[in-house]
Structure 1
Amino acid sequence: MFLSYANKTLLSLGRSMALRLTLWYALLSTLLIAVAGAALYWILAEQLRAADSQILTSKIHAVHTAIRNSTDNFSELRHETQLEASTIRGVYIWVTRSQEGIIARGRTYNPLLDSNKPFDRKPQAFQPEQWHWKVKKHEHFQVMAQRFAGKPASIIYVAIRISEREHFLAFYRYALALSIVFALLIAIVAGYLIARRGLRPVHQLASMVDELSASQLHRRIAGKNWPSELATLAENFDQLLERLEDSFARISRFSADIAHELRTPIHILRGEGELALSKTRSIPEYQACIASAMDEYERLSRMVDALLFLARAEQDHNALDKQQLDIHQEMASLCSFYQAMADEQEVILHNDTQGSIAANSDLLRRAVSNLLSNALRHTSAGGSIRMHSEWSRDQIQLIVSDTGSGIADADIDRVFDRFYSADAARMRRGQGTGLGLAIVQSIMRLHGGKIRLKSVPGKGTTAILFFPIISMDNHHGNIR
């Protein structure tokens, strides 16, 4: 159980933005401090080595001058060597020749010559050479030696004790490491506090989003003074809320409309059934009741089919099975179907369309069929319905116009809503479901087009279907 809890804790920490920012901040701070400390350490060490090297170089030059002045008088050389060695604490000087060995030394006791590990290095050229020599664990020397030509040749050695310098540098390294550790700890704590404070708007945004529910989709969060990094997110979320609010509102209206529209035919069917069962009736009366019920069943069937089509149209993201269709031929088929109804209502149909269009044949006929049936219902005897087509640079317009009763300005923006009808009496008489124009609009959206209505009350209505011009060379797809 403890291991499971620890694993969950580690996983949650690994997903924490505050922890990630803290670690990066701490890593960067520690790295910068370490680099700066290492650079300062290197500069300090080089400066100390350079200062010691300068001392050693000056001692070699002084002893070499004494050698040239003393010729073979070693007593003067020894005096000069001892004098140079005594001026600075921890400096040891000796001079050697190949045949005579050590001819002068600055001090009686020389730890480099008199220890268990005697100094045995020799310069190979006539240029100064340096070594780091360790006699004991904590006794370090910096040695410089230079060979000088002569008869015979001489080698001058100068050593300076650097144990204090090494101790100082060791302490500096220890202090630097300790500073880096403390800096890391401080950076972690401070970085976490800074990250938490910096991410506070994120937590506020998350809390506000968590408080939202289906009944609070009207709320907006972009009005606050969010940081620039969150302002775009808040604006996009508000746009999402707006779309969700609109979708929820349409679904609510749609559900209410469905309940209302289904309730009417069901009440009619129930009322007629109860009336028929209330007493014994004749066969013609029963037949009339059944015929009335069949009309309501037919209306319910049309309504269900229309609703199923709208549901599939909104959810189907596949491409339509479009073909290059002859517009005049397609409209001629529809005119032939509606000609009997038009003759009965004494309405004239005109098919003035021409050209071709990239569309799905079944859906195109269904859309225009809905427009024609609406036009026939609202056009009185002696009127006419005309279909024609127009072209622009990037779209084709299929136009259906009638000389009917028209649509009032107050209704023109609502006729595409489902179950809406400007003439409720016709709906009650079963002459429509209020879904025809909604289906036309869905079909146009599936084709990537749109529908627009123009109407003058008492003079007629014009429906314009805008189809985009599409090349059919490589077009494939289907709709279920």
Structure 2
Amino acid sequence: MAVRLTLWYALLSTILIAVAGAALYWILAEQLRAADSQILISKIHAIHTAMRNSTDHFSELLHEIQMESNTIRGVYIWVSRSQEGIIARGRSDNPLLDSNKPFDRKPKAFEPQQWHWKVKKHEHFQVMAQRFAGQPASIIYVAIRTSESEHFLAFYRYALALSIILALFIAILAGYLIARRGLRPVHQLASLVDELSASQLHRRIAGDNWPSELATLAENFDRLLERLEDSFARISRFSADIAHELRTPIHILRGEGELALSRNRSIPEYQACIASAMDEYERLSRMVDALLFLARAEQDHNALDKQQLDIHQEMASLCSFYQAMADEQDVTLNNDAQGSITANSDLLRRAVSNLLSNALRHTPAGGSIRIYCEQSREQVQLIVSDTGSGIADADLDRVFDRFYSADAARMRRGQGTGLGLAIVQSIVHLHGGKIRLKSVAGKGTTAILSFPIISKDNNDDNII
């Protein structure tokens, strides 16, 4: 990056210097040529005036030509006619007329014309001529030596080229040093990031010392570290919870097996041991199934098959399944849900089934469970409310954590794995919705599942 910045900086600097130098060179050359042209025009006008006033065989004209030629060094003047040739010249030595290649240009109109004429390699002239009507017509030639100006412009070109080359080298050196110094915070940031590891996710790199361009990057990276730290902490807790939950049934199975093998037992005792083991196997199976579902639910690339569902019909199927259990526990189960929802039928039923199972488990005899809906322009809320024992405020924020249970004794008796509400939350998140709980200890709990309303135009897109 430093090399690329240096090259671009040097290239831009060189182009700017070259353009500025070329512009100044062009202005200078034009000013010199304009000044010479003004001198030539003034000389032509003076000679033309003398020609009109001349009456004695051009003696006054010759005197005027000689005087005008001597006023400025390097000026040569001569007058010619088509039949007589040169009738007057300002100086006896005229390099334009006396060279091996004498000046032979003639103006074609009565307007002044200019030429650049080179006699020798380093001897340059600017020549202006104008034809004047008369009997016969005359042509006035005025030339001025421009060798000094040409030498000056050549030196200027040489100095400009040398300056551009020198500026290029300076721009490369200075640009590289500036780029290295400017990118030093980037290298420092890269070094800090390279030092981070899983055990150092608590470190933060944002501070007041970073340039404004990197301050936002440092803050975003700190937020990334916070998310990673939280994810690692949840994974660590999840791993520890899994190990704890799996260790208990394995110890029970191992203890019962060792106890059964410690001495000969009767068939009923072996059957009781196998029945107890089957209960633990069933609990392990449910736990593994739940963990597999949660693992798949967290993979965002999985497509979700959503359909337009009749909420009352879906809830009626669930209520018919749990009606026998509700009757056994003397709990009233009411399905007041109406409307439609865009969701996956199997997942929706599983989420509500977990809520109903929890509600039945914590609602005493004589209580009730109600399922109903509330709808707005943006979302559909599916609500499951019970009159059970409720959830304490201290536990309300943690009930969605995996393996968390406010009543460990119930879970230990095989009435749960601590993953039901975590599964419900994952299902709702898969649909792009949210879940929240409202509970009062001793009065009941209300679970509110909010699902976004999807238009029919977008219903064909299966998006997680």
- Which residue in 1 is equivalent to 2:219? 235
- Which residue in 2 is equivalent to 1:144? 128
- Which residue in 2 is equivalent to 1:320? 304
Paired residue secondary structure (2:342): strand
CA contact (8 A) 2:399 2:405 kept: yes
Instruction: Output aligned runs, 1:61-460, within 5 Å.
Output: 61-460=45-444
Whole-Å Cα distance in 1 between the matches of residues 146 and 113 of structure 2? 17
CA contact (8 A) 1:323 1:358 kept: yes
Amino acid aligned to 1:55: I
CA offsets per residue over residues 273-311 of structure 1, 9 Å max, x none? 111111111111111111111111000000000001111
Whole-Å Cα distance in 2 between the matches of residues 148 and 170 of structure 1? 36
Whole-Å Cα distance in 2 between the matches of residues 300 and 160 of structure 1? 111
Using the TM superposition, give the Cα deviation of residue 80 of structure 1 relative to its aligned residue in structure 2, in angstroms. 3.1
Paired residue secondary structure (1:249): helix
Using the TM superposition, give the Cα deviation of residue 91 of structure 1 relative to its aligned residue in structure 2, in angstroms. 1.8
Instruction: For structure 1, list consecutive stretches of 5 or more residues without a partner in the other structure.
Output: 1-15
CA contact (8 A) 1:318 1:478 kept: no
Whole-Å Cα distance in 1 between the matches of residues 415 and 80 of structure 2? 129
Amino acid aligned to 1:217: L
Amino acid aligned to 2:262: S
CA offsets per residue over residues 251-270 of structure 1, 9 Å max, x none? 11111111111111111111
| TM-score (ref. length: structure 1) | 0.91
CA offsets per residue over residues 145-170 of structure 1, 9 Å max, x none? 12222222222212121111111111
CA contact (8 A) 1:404 1:459 kept: yes
| TM-score (ref. length: structure 2) | 0.94
Greater alpha carbon shift after TM alignment, 347-356 vs 101-110: 347-356
Using the TM superposition, give the Cα deviation of residue 384 of structure 1 relative to its aligned residue in structure 2, in angstroms. 2.7
Using the TM superposition, give the Cα deviation of residue 210 of structure 1 relative to its aligned residue in structure 2, in angstroms. 1.8
Identity %: 89
Whole-Å Cα distance in 1 between the matches of residues 311 and 80 of structure 2? 117
Paired residue secondary structure (2:127): strand
Amino acid aligned to 2:436: R
Paired residue secondary structure (1:131): strand
Instruction: For structure 2, list consecutive stretches of 5 or more residues without a partner in the other structure.
Output: none
Greater alpha carbon shift after TM alignment, 269-278 vs 230-239: 230-239
- Which residue in 1 is equivalent to 2:41? 57
The CA RMSD over aligned residues, in Å, is: 2.1
CA contact (8 A) 1:321 1:476 kept: no
CA contact (8 A) 2:207 2:215 kept: no
| Alignment size in residue pairs | 464
In structure 2, relative to structure 1, the CA distance for the partners of 1:140 and 1:312 (3 Å cut) is: same
Amino acid aligned to 1:92: Y
Whole-Å Cα distance in 2 between the matches of residues 428 and 284 of structure 1? 24
Paired residue secondary structure (2:399): coil
Whole-Å Cα distance in 1 between the matches of residues 74 and 458 of structure 2? 94
Using the TM superposition, give the Cα deviation of residue 137 of structure 1 relative to its aligned residue in structure 2, in angstroms. 1.0
Whole-Å Cα distance in 1 between the matches of residues 61 and 447 of structure 2? 123
Whole-Å Cα distance in 1 between the matches of residues 175 and 457 of structure 2? 61
Using the TM superposition, give the Cα deviation of residue 478 of structure 1 relative to its aligned residue in structure 2, in angstroms. 6.1
CA contact (8 A) 2:312 2:336 kept: yes
Moved runs in structure 1, 4+ residues, more than 4 A? 477-480
In structure 2, relative to structure 1, the CA distance for the partners of 1:77 and 1:423 (3 Å cut) is: same
In structure 2, relative to structure 1, the CA distance for the partners of 1:44 and 1:474 (3 Å cut) is: closer
